[in-house]
Amino acid sequence: MNEIRYQAILEPQEEGGFTVTFPDIPEAITEGDSREEALFNATEVLGLCLDVRMEQSEALPQPTDTIGGEWITPYASVQAAVALRQIRELQGKTLSDMARLLNTSWPAAQRLERPNANPTLRQLERAAAAMGKRLTLSFE
């Protein structure tokens, strides 16, 4: 599974600071007084927008490469939830299927795909294994 990330466009503003937009996620807009603050805020707004889309069972757009864009990766909790959902959907499985594979309840399986549920690494490893995958971590 590829890293979960989207392109952001940072536009310098006349009065100073930057506005950040995501071509693939139009509702994700933020700003910052400095480039570093704008990038930090971009990570947060990207995670929030992906979380809302997942809560509303909306499809997540495929990331596109944008000229002049900068790749933004959401927090690990968002990445884990998105990746697990993508794997499940690619395999044509429902949440009920995943719950059966994990020998757990449907609500417990659903929580694994919620960024704010904070599953443990053990739970994520079990879910990955149930889907025929392996959980890997990296630090950047």
pLDDT digits (tens, 9 = 90+) for 109-125: 999 998 888 899 999 99
Q: How far is CA 105 from the centre of its chain?
A: 23
CATH number of the domain enclosing 65: 3.30.160.250
Per-position DSSP letters for 61-84, written without gaps between them: PPP---TT-EEE---HHHHHHHHH
What span, in angstroms and rounded, lies between the C-alpha atoms of 60 and 45?
15
3-state secondary structure of 49: helix
Range of the domain at 118: 76-130
3-state secondary structure of 26: coil
Q: Which residues of the chain have pLDDT under 70?
A: 1-2
Note the pLDDT of residue 116: 84
Residue 36 shares a structural domain with residue 85: no
What span, in angstroms and rounded, lies between the C-alpha atoms of 61 and 96?
24
3-state secondary structure of 41: helix
